[in-house]
Copies of this chain bind each other. A is one copy, B any other.
Amino acid sequence: MNISEVSKRTGLPAKTIRYYEEIGLVSPARSGNGYRSFRDSDLHKLAFLGRARALGFSIEDCRNLMTLYEDRGRASSDVKAIASEHLVAIDAKLAELRQMRNTLADLVSSCAGDDRPDCPILADLAAKSDG
């Protein structure tokens, strides 16, 4: 299977697939002309990676998850540990974003948005808290 077919089936850009090979996440065979020749197992791996990435796992997390996936003697606690840590990070990010969103939404709604210069958004950004 050539790269464009794999790209179509996994939803990953060909560039990304080449990149994943470069960093050792997959190792497709090569045919005589130098083209990458993907086996079903490669396709599988790439699909796995795509889903893990879609859940926000870092490449290193993905690498570790993949290793666990291929280790029949793994402990599910190792998988859960990675996922739980990621969940904590997501929650932190969410809290931060929500905070930003609230502040920003307040500012936006308080700004007239007309052709005059007065602007609570700029006023807030310029505010010195030290009185």
Contacts and interface: CB of A to CB of B under 8 A. Distances in A.
Interface of A: 44, 47-48, 51-52, 54-56, 65, 68-69, 71-77, 79-81, 83-84, 86-87, 90-91, 93-94, 97-98, 100-101, 103-105, 107-108, 111-119, 121-122, 124-128
A86 B69 contact: no
B108 A55 contact: no
B121 A83 contact: yes
Q: Is the interface of A mostly helix, strand, loop or mixed?
A: helix
A21 to B, nearest CB: 19
A68 B121 CA distance: 11
5 contacts: A44-B126, A76-B112, A77-B114, A79-B113, A80-B113
Nearest to A56: B100
A74 B125 contact: no
Given A75-B117, A76-B112, A83-B121, 7 more contacts: A51-B124, A55-B100, A71-B117, A75-B114, A76-B115, A79-B122, A80-B119
